[in-house]
Amino acid sequence: MANEYHNSRKLQNIVSPVPETTFEFYSDAVLATAFLLTAIVAAKRMSSSRSHGGAETTVVTAFYSLILLTASLRTIWFMIPGTVWSPYYTPHAVMAFDSEHPYWIMEFLEIILLGAGSLCLFSIFILILVYWADILKKYFYPGARRSKPMITFLVLVSVLIVIQMLNAILFLFRDYSSEGMILVNSVTLSLVSVVCVCEITIFSHRFRTVLKTLGDINQVSTESQVKRIVWITVTGNLFFFTRAFLETIFAILLVVYWHQNGTVAEAFSHSIWDAYILLKHWSELAILGLMLYILQNRFSNGVEGTGEGLNVSNHGYQTVPETNLCDADFVTDESSPSTLSV
């Protein structure tokens, strides 16, 4: 490790700092504006949702809160010029408490900020999947014992938070450089993305099965709901597949360059890094926008009492309205708050 870090120091001394380019500056400004607008919309929707009563309000408010946190953290990161964090705009190795590189603390804070934003983003889908699992378990295993979805959600998110904390502690104890922190985050997000792709696909298939069964029982067409679920599933899977692909490639490049050179100072050119940032964060904006659209559509049409949605009657039968069918964005029963059927 000492030899590798010594080699890393040599390469860092050879490579001169490359400041943020004009394109990167304006690109970051546009992304900051886009995330800021998303945060404003989420804040207004969250404030409006509190005026409605019922269990649905709590769940919808939780979704809006996570969207607001994600967009706000991304806005903060993009509003701060890259050179404030480090003289290098692209990833660059630095050890904790390095007197020769006093900007190490800024790089550390930058990685923490980025990790927190990603954690909030993925928490949105973890919350969705947890409620999906609870609802589907109710339908497929009526007599099975079901744990509270929010407790399951908090446990899963806590595991990710612990990983982030351990990553930060190992960096502060100088077990590895900032490269190691970035690598751990990339591997973690890649694995979580793969899990989300698998779970969304499985749950989507089961929801379609439930809808078709209820449609046959009630002799009502559920084709529109099924198409909606398929469309949202494809969109969600496209996001997670893109994220898993980006993070995997990112991790592989880090490992290869770290193994060959002892640093990632030359692993990413400005063009490659710019492509990574643009694809990663514009895809985040797209999926956040989709979540806002679905939440507003279902909250205004389903929660305000228009009669849309799949409900459990007092006799336990599943009913599908004869007119004005919803798109199955919410599935409601007596014991589970409604949630997105993305």
What the block records as the tokens of 280 is 């990663």
330 strand-pairing partners: 340
Position of tokens 């928490």? Answer: 123
pLDDT-wise least confident of 14-23, 153-162, 310-319? 310-319
Q: Which residue has the higher pLDDT, 38 or 303?
A: 38
Residue 110 clears pLDDT 90, i.e. is over it: yes
Q: Which residue has the higher pLDDT, 179 or 16?
A: 179
Q: Could you tell me the CA-to-CA distances from 255 to 158, 194, 237, 273 in Å, in that order?
A: 27, 20, 26, 16
Longest dimension (CA), the chain: 76
- pLDDT attached to residue 327: 38
**Percent of the chain with pLDDT strictly greater than 70:** 77
**Residue 17 pLDDT grade (very low, low, confident, very high; cuts 50, 70, 90):** low
pLDDT-wise least confident of 55-59, 148-152, 247-251? 55-59
**Residue 266 pLDDT grade (very low, low, confident, very high; cuts 50, 70, 90):** low
Mean pLDDT of 99-110: 91
Residue 21 clears pLDDT 70, i.e. is over it: yes
Q: Which residue has the higher pLDDT, 315 or 143?
A: 143
318 strand-pairing partners: 312
User: What is the amino acid identity at position 310?
Assistant: L
What the block records as the tokens of 36 is 């800021």
Residue 299 clears pLDDT 90, i.e. is over it: no
In angstroms, rounded to a whole number, what is the distance separating the alpha carbons of residues 242 and 304? 36
User: What is the amino acid identity at position 153?
Assistant: F
Given phi > 0 = left and psi -120 to 50 = alpha, else beta, which region is 307?
left
Contact 232, 342 (CB under 8 A): yes
Angle at the Cα of 125 from the Cα atoms of 225 and 276, rounded to 5 degrees: 110
In angstroms, rounded to a whole number, what is the distance separating the alpha carbons of residues 160 and 75? 22
pLDDT digit string, tens, across residues 43-81: 998 888 776 665 567 788 888 999 999 999 999 999 998
Contact 182, 254 (CB under 8 A): yes
Q: What string of DSSP letters covers 13-80?
A: HHSPP-PPPHHHHHHHHHHHHHHHHHHHHHHHHHHHHTTS-SHHHHHHHHHHHHHHHHHHHHHHHHHS
Contacts of 41 (CB under 8 A, 6+ apart): 292
In angstroms, rounded to a whole number, what is the distance separating the alpha carbons of residues 320 and 134? 20
pLDDT digit string, tens, across residues 170-203: 999 998 888 889 889 988 988 999 998 898 888 8
User: What is the amino acid identity at position 17?
Assistant: P
What the block records as the tokens of 37 is 């607008």
pLDDT digit string, tens, across residues 123-146: 998 998 898 888 888 888 887 788
Contact 334, 136 (CB under 8 A): no
Give just the sign of the alpha carbon dihedral 223, 310, 137, 160: positive
Q: Could you tell me the CA-to-CA distances from 142 to 25, 66, 130, 326, 335 in Å, in that order?
A: 55, 31, 17, 24, 12
Mean pLDDT of 209-231: 78
Average pLDDT of the chain to the nearest whole number: 78
**Residue 317 pLDDT grade (very low, low, confident, very high; cuts 50, 70, 90):** very low
- pLDDT attached to residue 178: 86
